[in-house]
Amino acid sequence: MGLRIAFFGQAAFGRDVLVRLLDAGHEVVGVYAPPEGRRPDPLAEEAEKRGLPLLRPRAMRRKTGEPLAARVAEHAALGADLNVLAFVTMILPSEVVDQPPHGSLCFHPSLLPKYRGGNALAWQIIEGETESGVTVFKPDEGVDTGPIVVQKGGVPIQPHHTSASLYFESLYDLGVEAMVEAVGQVASGEAVYRAQDESQASFQGLVDDAVARIDWGRPAAELDRQARGCDPNPGAHARLGDGQVRLFDVRLGPEVAGAPGTVVSVEADGAHVAAQGGSLVVGRVRIDGGPKAKPGEAGLAAGAKLG
């Protein structure tokens, strides 16, 4: 039997989950998408194309944490059986999360309880994990702490993976399948809610510029993981003279002669930067907020010192 679903999400992932749920016979009574921006949101476009009720609030609760009563009432009026949260960045009040009879299901791009928090993809790479996966859980008052409904693992993290490529190459399709499977289990009454093992839990904060700052005193392998985890955002960064350079499309290279942080050569495959126990081969850079470009095109030359 199909469910009446209030759908919260964004981007292509949200769109693809929405389409799959509609194809499975569920009724979507409302779609919550991000406010209009410079670029069209694929989820919002799909909802409009299908004539689904589209809601684009800037917030569901005040900065104090208290819910916005009008938004809570608006959501309750939809009469949803279940909320589906497909990569949601908006913070929802418990009055919305818990309102439907079946509560909510939320997607997370890690094998919970490991890597709770808003930058799970980045931290898995930075911390040197070799395996990833996806989790669909029922949110509670904690951050990514609720009981698990569906979990799919066994996804190897490859040496070339950035946060973006790990998601799009390996976790995206798996995440769509997990969401559809979890909703199906709830609809059929077969969902089993498994408490997370707190002894295995870890929480990592957001990956900001402090996390992304390169320390050339660390081993090359750690710097490689840091740069890939921070790619595409915010971009691992180092000093370049009085300015700043951000490093993208980084891979680990062999050890080269030179002090750590020295650009030893600029070749077709990128800038080769000396590091402890290896080197970083940097495919693209952004200097002082400029556009991303190949190192030679951006003016980075052999002999430059990255601080």
Q: Note the pLDDT of residue 89.
A: 86
- Tokens in use for 99? 């309102």
Q: Note the pLDDT of residue 244.
A: 97
Domains in the chain, CATH or no CATH each = 4-200 (3.40.50.170), 213-298 (3.10.25.10)
Q: Note the pLDDT of residue 90.
A: 86
Read off the pLDDT of residues 138-156 as tens digits, 9 standing for 90 and up: 999 999 999 999 999 999 9
Q: CA–CA separation, 271 vs 155, rounded Å?
A: 30
Q: Note the pLDDT of residue 225.
A: 98
Placement of tokens 């940097």 in the chain: 282
> Could you tell me which residue, 77 or 91, shows the higher pLDDT?
77
Q: CA–CA separation, 209 vs 236, rounded Å?
A: 8
Q: Note the pLDDT of residue 223.
A: 98
CA angle, 98 then 99 then 102, to 5°: 70
Q: Note the pLDDT of residue 66.
A: 85
Q: CA–CA separation, 67 vs 302, rounded Å?
A: 56
CB 84 within 8 A of CB 9: yes
Q: What is the DSSP secondary structure assignment for residue 35, as one 8-state letter? A: P
**274-296 b/e (C-beta count within 10 Å ≥ 16 → b):** bbbebbbbbbbbbbeeeebebbe
User: What is the DSSP annotation of 233-294?
Assistant: TT-EEEEETTEEEEEEEEEEE---SS-TTBEEEEETTEEEEEEBTEEEEEEEEEETT---B-
Instruction: Name the band, by pLDDT with cuts 50, 70 and 90, for residue 61.
Output: confident
Q: CA–CA separation, 36 vs 280, rounded Å?
A: 39
Average pLDDT over residues 67-80: 95
Q: Note the pLDDT of residue 82.
A: 98
The answer to whether the Cα torsion of 235, 238, 243, 245 is positive or negative is negative
CA nearest neighbour of 212 among 271, 127, 89, 126: 126
Read off the pLDDT of residues 188-231 as tens digits, 9 standing for 90 and up: 999 999 999 999 999 999 999 999 999 999 999 999 999 999 99
Q: Note the pLDDT of residue 63.
A: 79
CA nearest neighbour of 175 among 148, 151, 146, 143: 151
Q: CA–CA separation, 180 vs 187, rounded Å?
A: 11
CA nearest neighbour of 240 among 221, 214, 203, 259: 214
Instruction: Name the band, by pLDDT with cuts 50, 70 and 90, for residue 1.
Output: confident
> What radius of gyration, in Å, describes the C-alpha atoms of the chain?
22
What order do you get walking across the sheet with 27-32 strand by strand? 54-55, 27-32, 4-9, 82-86, 104-108, 131-137, 148-156
The answer to whether the Cα torsion of 263, 264, 267, 269 is positive or negative is negative
Q: Note the pLDDT of residue 114.
A: 98
Give the pTM.
0.94
CA angle, 107 then 163 then 84, to 5°: 15
Q: CA–CA separation, 166 vs 171, rounded Å?
A: 7
Q: Note the pLDDT of residue 212.
A: 98
Q: Flag whether pLDDT at 81 surpasses 90.
A: yes
Q: 3-class DSSP state for residue 106?
A: strand
